[in-house]
Structure 1
Amino acid sequence: MPFDFKKEYKEFYLPKNKPEIVTVPAANYIAVQGSGDPNEEGGAYQSAIRILYAVAYTLKMSYKTGRKIDGFFEYVVPPLEGFWWQNGVTGVDYTDKSAFHWISVIRLPDFVTKADFDWAVETASKKKKLDCSPAEFRTIDEGLCVQIMHIGSYDAEPASVAQMDAYLAQNGYENDLTASRLHHEIYLSDPRKTAPEKQKTVIRHPIKVV
């Protein structure tokens, strides 16, 4: 069976639908950074998603090409994730999507090196006829966080964030949202195939001890 990050690291991908504290270790990601409304047809966000998946699947299928990656094993491409912020706003204002800045990411297996990544960007660009050069190899170390499984539409996320905030206040923590520690979402449902009220999204905030 291919390695599945969601199943092997359940504490990071499948939390309960109530707040919990986790320490998230550093990991490598394919990342594309941009800004604008994620719902804009043909916009920057949708372009970023195409790039992410093109590079991700090129790496996943590398064993069927001449590219040999040391330590490679078959795996399920991890879910799409996003880090979100707006200038001058603490947290996220869901009513002003045009003001969003984002870093969209897909986790990489540890065996993928920067050289392997660069090969995948070049290969995907040629095979898909898609400029994948905006993709970056990033190491992200989230550290101490609070997270929750949000079930429902993206616009209903403030209710789950409020639960996390209340939990922090009751347990001696506070949010630590900064320019480098951002609101984080992990998308476990395909919005094209899942009713909004049934969508599952992990919401994660960086925190610190009061």
Structure 2
Amino acid sequence: MSLCQHLSMADTGKVDFKKTLAVYRARRGFQVVDVPDLQYLMIDGHGDPNTAVFTEAVEALYPLAYKLKFASKKTLGRDYVVMPLEGLWWAGDMDAFTAARDKSRWDWTLMIMVPDWITPRMFAEVAPAGSRVRLETLAEGRCVQTLHVGSYDDEAGVLAEMHSSFIPSRGFTMVGKHHEIYLSDRRKTEPSRLRTILRQPVRE
């Protein structure tokens, strides 16, 4: 039985994976966590997140996320809370995130986690023709993460400490892509109060 299936059976009501999956309950200070394989709606993009391209990508994800939620409740009798927006971020030179903060050089994949009982067939039935959104499983495994409270532009110092100090001090090497989980709605939250999980996959 999968992790998501086990958790859904433990709660006959609406499942909120932010509460049932420990890796969504980060705290301040760096923690080493083992992230299970999780399934996401994904869409790729490039460049500054403060642009129309980024906004259009977000607007492509959420309608599909809600259609899948309603399909799950109607056809399977399984209801769940739509998860927050997440993003994978990378660049040819990772200093683009910590020192230069050159957003024009950033590549990204925006994501929304969906339960593993959502099948490719269910996705195909709700995805519009020509959609750039895909359904894919992400395997991250061992990661270092922390809860950042504040503006996205204030992440640079935290990431520099994570990348250059904490990770090597624990005998780890960075692998994969920088991962952010946006627990706050930036449209409704003051920048100083934004809550974001910052995650980096690692290996020994």
Q: Structure 2-normalised TM-score?
A: 0.86
Aligned match of 1:174: 173
SS at match of 1:157: helix
User: What code does the residue aligned with 1:82 have?
Assistant: G
1:6 aligns to 2:18 (yes or no): yes
Look up the match of 2:137. 139
Alpha-carbon distance in 2 for matches of 1:111, 1:151: 32
Aligned residue number for residue 128 of structure 1: none
Q: Is the 8 A contact 1:21 1:144 kept in 2?
A: yes
CA positional deviation for 1:90: 5.5
Match of 2:71 among 62, 76, 94: 62
Residues 18 and 63 of structure 1: CA distance in aligned 2, closer, same or farther (over 3 Å)? closer
CA-to-aligned-CA distance 1:78-127 (integer Å, 9 cap, x gap):
111000112344672562112211100001111100010111213xx7xx
Change (3 A) 1:46 1:186: same
Distance 2:96 2:140 in 1: 16
The structure with the greater share of residues assigned to helix is 2
Structure 1 residues 36 and 168, CA gap change in structure 2 (3 angstroms): closer
Residue from 107, 114, 120 that aligns with 1:108: 114
The total of aligned residue pairs comes to: 190
Q: Which runs of 5+ in 2 are unaligned?
A: 1-12
1-structure distance, mates of 2:162, 2:72: 42
- Three-state SS of the structure 1 residue aligned to 2:29 is coil
Instruction: Give identity over the alignment, percent.
Output: 37
User: For residues 64 and 78 of structure 1, do their structure 2 counterparts lie closer, same or farther at Cα, with a shift above 3 Å needed?
Assistant: closer
For structure 1, the residue ranges without an aligned partner over 5 or more in a row are 126-130
Runs of 4 or more consecutive aligned structure 1 residues displaced over 4 Å after TM superposition: none
2:78 corresponds to 1:73: yes
SS in 2 for 1:61: helix
Give runs of aligned pairs for residues 16-55 of structure 1, distance below 5 A.
16-40=27-51, 43-55=52-64
User: Partners in 1 of 2:155 and 2:73 — Cα distance?
Assistant: 41
Question: Is the Cα contact below 8 Å between 1:19 and 1:163 reproduced in 2?
Answer: no
CA contact (8 A) 2:43 2:133 kept: yes
User: In the alignment, is residue 191 of structure 1 matched against residue 203 of structure 2?
Assistant: no
